[in-house]
Amino acid sequence: MQKNTRGLMGIAAITLLSFLQQDVFSQNITIPVETQHNALVLQTNASNNLGIVYLGPKLADKKEYENIPAMYKQTAEYTGVANAAYATSGSRNLFEPAITVTHADGNGSLDLQYVKHETKKLDDNTSLLTIITKDPVYDFEVKLFYKTYFREDVTEQWSEIKHNEKGNVVLQKFASAGLYLKADNFYLRQYHGDWAREMQPEETRITHGIKTLDSKLGTRADLFQPPVFMVSLNKPATEDEGSVLYGALEWSGNFRIDLELDNQDNLRIIAGVNNHASPYTLKPGEVFTTPAFLSVLSHKGKGEASRQLHAWARNYKLLDGKGNRLTLLNNWESTYFDFNETKLKALLKDTKELGVDMFLLDDGWFANKYPRNDDHAGLGDWQENKSKLPNGVASLVHEAENNKVKFGIWVEPEMVNPKSELYEKHPDWVVKQPKRPEYYFRNQLVLDLTNPQVQDFVFGVIDNLFTKNPNLAYIKWDCNAVVYNAYSAHLTNQAHFYLQYVQGLYSVLQRIRKKYPTVPMMLCSGGGGRVDYAALQYFTEFWPSDNTDPLERIFMQWEYSYFYPAISTSNHVTDWGKQPIKYRTDVAMMGKLGFDIVVNKLNTNDLKFCQDALKTYNAYKPIIWQGDQYRLQDPGDNSVAAMMYLNAEKNTGILFNYLVNNRYDAGSERPIRMKGLDPEKRYQLKELNLYPGTPSTIGDKTYTGEFLMTVGYNPDVKASRASVVLELKAVE
């Protein structure tokens, strides 16, 4: 009996399906969103709902997109909205929605129908598609935006939600965007971590049901899970083969990304601000704009997707993505909180001697009533500590000038220690529950950035530093606490707290960037917890992790490098790990190089090595920062990890090779195959970053690009040569 019923339902559904398909051919609107290699095809159906009918390689004949839906004979689609471009709830949708609302009259249903669309070419590479959708019953509208970056194959999607109902509407869920994919199988590469162990990958086949990647930390997206992921289509993509979609939410707070494999075996991706504890009350006429969700799709594996994303980031998103960066000496791990003017002046001399561009003064320079001598006190009181710095920061900036180096400074302006004058004066500026005990993360609390007075204060911390020290060259902006006990004394609607915290932060950063458009700033967060593409609009670089053990870093930087370009990744040489200075420096050179060591304790050869390495870095940084990055051998699968950077002309490259396995006789047994070279060019290899007195085992033969890419080259990595850096130069 049951079987029969199912059978009947099946027939009914098939009839409905063929009706829909017929209609597709006659009058439905098809909107292809194309980039250099791909097309996302949107189409209206018989009930005028907008769905995604295709995401894949683009077709030469645009008309053929209309034929796509008929090629799928999957199981019944009961609702007509399973592939919704922006899925609603409370009407026909049976799957995870992008938007859920409670209308002014208490009704919880929403149906969004296509009204019109418009495509604007913004310049020769970018276009913006805007689609207006409306509910036929309620005066409720959602505008969907698709901004495409043609050459980079990147699409940013976001939404604007508004209504003109006779009262407020509550947005229970308000995602940025949705995608709908069809493939034989889907494989998710996601990341997890914790302090000092950020960006640990996991790759699994997606099974039916919903997989949610999310975070609820308030001040940062990541600590446990970053807002980036990859989905391989059909089979797991490798570095150079297979179709893979990268996704990332551009939001620096709570996020939620749902990946749902439905009854038809199609994958729905819905990404946005996390609606956890955050129903948003939208007034009539008010426009709610979601952050952007970005995606890039490649059919040539993870490597190409990452290079496209790097190019996009440098061209469009990362602050000063094409600009310069400063090498630096940081004093955090050499002094911690224990320093004074004399000690710092000596470090300024070391900065010059080492040969970096700048000295970066870290935590501990401020607060007087509760001096910042450890992490229990002083945060929030941004006046120079008089006993450590009797002549202020100004005298250090001046002394830096005398040493012909630049000066940068650490701040953590969003935070407060309960033991501080700021806390005493403004307890109402602090995020905490009025009737519950305080609970701390690194002995500190978060300031309430939803409050415009707090925004002024945070802006003032930076502005005062620059006003007093116009030659200040750099800011390291830290953020070492998450939000516990979310409550704002300023807000009347507590449900808006998480959202408005991040908006408050952006408004401060916008003010800072208006006044100081290009001063380099590092985005730091007690490790790599804060990086995302919204924050990187205001920052020139980020701190991937407090873990600077070079062996760990090879793995971590490898994973970060899929999503963020090398120019944005601050890598410091420290005393973490057991490897010699050469290994540590080589690893740090793969991004934006800095040092955090006691220079005057380096022996003569170590110092000489670092000085020479800095000269080499200065010569090669344009390629590391702006060139194409090729992952040659994954540290997860090989005893030798290899990463290569190549300039656009393909005539100069730099190749980093590391032994990542210390088992007996591990080394480069086989040649490492290079990528991206011109097969016809001849290349000369030369070893760089040789430790003083060590001969190179690299000969002076030349090889064609074809040879280096087909056969490969053996960099002779072994226990006694655990880190080998090679230059690659085309010769006539």
Give the active site residues.
478, 546
Q: Strands of 90-226 (E only): list them.
A: 99-102, 113-121, 126-134, 140-149, 154-163, 169-174, 177-181, 186-192, 200-205, 209-214
The torsion region of residue 676 among left (phi > 0), alpha (psi -120 to 50) and beta comes to left
| 332 interacts with ligand GLA by CB under 6 A | yes
Q: Tell me whether residue 300 is annotated as binding.
A: no
Show the 3-state SS of 67-126: HCHHHCCCCCCCCCCCCECCCCCCCCCCCCCCEEEECCCCCCCCCCEEEEEEEEECCCCE
Distance between CA atoms of residues 716 and 670, nearest Å: 9
Q: Which is nearer to ligand GLA, 143 or 572 (CB)?
A: 572
Q: Nearer Cβ to ligand GLA, position 547 or 668? A: 547
Is there a binding annotation on residue 610? no
Contact map string, positions 340 to 379, toward ligand GLA, x by CB under 6 A:
----------------------xx-----------x----
- Is 541 an interacting residue with respect to ligand GLA (CB under 6 A)? no
User: Least separation, in Å, of the C-beta of 376 and ligand GLA?
Assistant: 12
Compute the distance between CA of residue 51 and CA of residue 72 in angstroms, rounded to an integer. 14
Mapped onto helix, strand or coil, the DSSP state of residue 627 is coil
3-state DSSP call for residue 582?
helix
* Cα distances (angstroms) measured from residue 723 to each of 144, 451, 541, 580: 49, 50, 25, 10
A 10 A CB-CB count for 128 gives 14
Residue 524 in contact with ligand GLA, rule: CB under 6 A:
yes
Residue whose token pair is 């709908």: 180
Pairwise CA distance, residues 349 & 351, whole Å: 5
Neighbour tally for 709: CB within 10 Å: 17
Q: CA-CA distance, 148 to 440, in Å (whole number)?
A: 43
CB of 484 to ligand GLA, least distance (A): 18
| Smallest separation, CB 546 to ligand GLA (Å) | 5
Candidates 98-106, 254-262, 519-527, 673-681 — which segment interacts with ligand GLA by CB under 6 A?
519-527
Q: Tell me the three state secondary structure of residue 224.
A: coil
Of 108-116, 166-174, 321-329, 524-532: span binding ligand GLA (CB under 6 A): 524-532
Closer to ligand GLA at the Cβ: 321 or 528? 528
**Residue 258, annotated ligand binder?**
no
- Least spacing, CB of residue 558 vs ligand GLA, in Å: 20
* Cβ atoms within 10 Å, residue 489: 15
| Smallest separation (angstroms) from ligand GLA to the CB of 223 | 12
Identify which of residues 533 and 543 has a Cβ nearer to ligand GLA in the complex. 543
Asked if 139 and 165 touch (Cβ cutoff 8 Å), the reply is yes
Kindly indicate which of the ranges 422-430, 431-439, 446-454, 520-528 contains the residues binding ligand GLA, using the contact rule CB under 6 A. Answer: 520-528
Asked whether position 546 contacts ligand GLA by CB under 6 A, the answer is yes
Q: Known binder of ligand: residue 478?
A: yes
We find the least distance from the C-beta atom of residue 548 to ligand GLA, in angstroms, to be 9
The span of 54-62, 143-151, 457-465, 523-531 binding ligand GLA (CB under 6 A) equals: 523-531
Let me know: does 498 contact 253? Beta carbons within 8 Å.
yes
**Nearest distance from residue 552's CB to ligand GLA, in Å?**
15
Check the annotation: does 480 bind a ligand: yes
| Per-residue x/- track, 159-198, ligand GLA (CB under 6 A) | ----------------------------------------
**CB-nearest residue to ligand GLA:** 363
- Of 602, 596, 574, nearest in space to 331 by CA: 596
Find the farthest-apart pair of alpha carbons in the chain and give their distance in angstroms, rounded.
Answer: 91
The reply, when asked if residue 363 is annotated as ligand binding, is: yes
Q: Name the minimum Å distance from CB 594 to ligand GLA.
A: 11
> Residue 408: in which H helix or E strand, if any?
strand 406-411
Q: Does 381 bind ligand GLA (CB under 6 A)?
A: no
Residue count of the chain:
732
Closer of 319 and 522 to ligand GLA (Cβ):
522
Least spacing, CB of residue 557 vs ligand GLA, in Å: 16
Residue closer to ligand GLA by CB (options 256, 476) is 476
With respect to ligand GLA, which residue has the nearer C-beta, 218 or 705?
218
Q: Is 559 one of the binding residues for ligand GLA (CB under 6 A)?
A: no
Q: Nearest Cα to 485, choosing from 440, 437, 433?
A: 433
Q: Which of 97, 242, 408, 526 binds ligand GLA (CB under 6 A)?
A: 526
What distance, in Å, lies between the first and last C-alpha atoms of the chain?
80
Contact status: 254 vs ligand GLA (CB under 6 A): no
Among 140, 191, 410, 423, binds ligand GLA (CB under 6 A): 410
Smallest separation, CB 718 to ligand GLA (Å): 34
Helix (H) or strand (E) holding 692: none
Provide, rounded to whole angstroms, the least separation between the CB of residue 480 and ligand GLA: 5
What's the Rg (C-alpha) of the chain?
27
Q: Is 633 helix (H, G, I), strand (E, B) or coil?
A: strand
Tokens (6 digits) for 270: 């819905």
Piece in contact with ligand GLA (CB under 6 A), picked from 481-489, 522-530, 647-655, 719-727 = 522-530
Say which residues have a Cβ less than 8 Å from residue 588's Cβ, sequence separation at least 6: 548, 550, 553, 571, 572, 573, 594, 595
Instruction: With residue 466 as reference, give the H or E element that holds it.
Output: helix 452-468
User: 582-598 burial, b if ≥16 CB within 10 A, otherwise e?
Assistant: bbbbbbbbbbbbbbbbe
Q: Pick out residues in 584-603 that bind ligand GLA (CB under 6 A).
A: none
Cβ proximity to ligand GLA: between 375 and 575 the closer is 375
Instruction: Establish whether 391 is an annotated binding residue.
Output: no
Site string for ligand GLA, 120-159 (x = CB under 6 A): ----------------------------------------
Size of the site for ligand GLA (CB under 6 A): 12
Quick check: 213 and 254 in contact, CB under 8 A?
Answer: no
Q: Does 480 bind ligand GLA (CB under 6 A)?
A: yes
Q: Running DSSP on this structure, what letter comes out for residue 637?
A: T
Amino acid at 310: H
Report helix angle 604-626 to 341-354, nearest 10: 70
- Which residues are annotated as part of the binding site? 195, 362-363, 442, 476-480, 524, 546
- Which residues are annotated as part of the binding site for substrate? 195, 362-363, 442, 476-480, 524, 546
Residues of this chain that bind ligand GLA (CB under 6 A): 332, 362-363, 375, 410, 478, 480, 524, 526-527, 543, 546
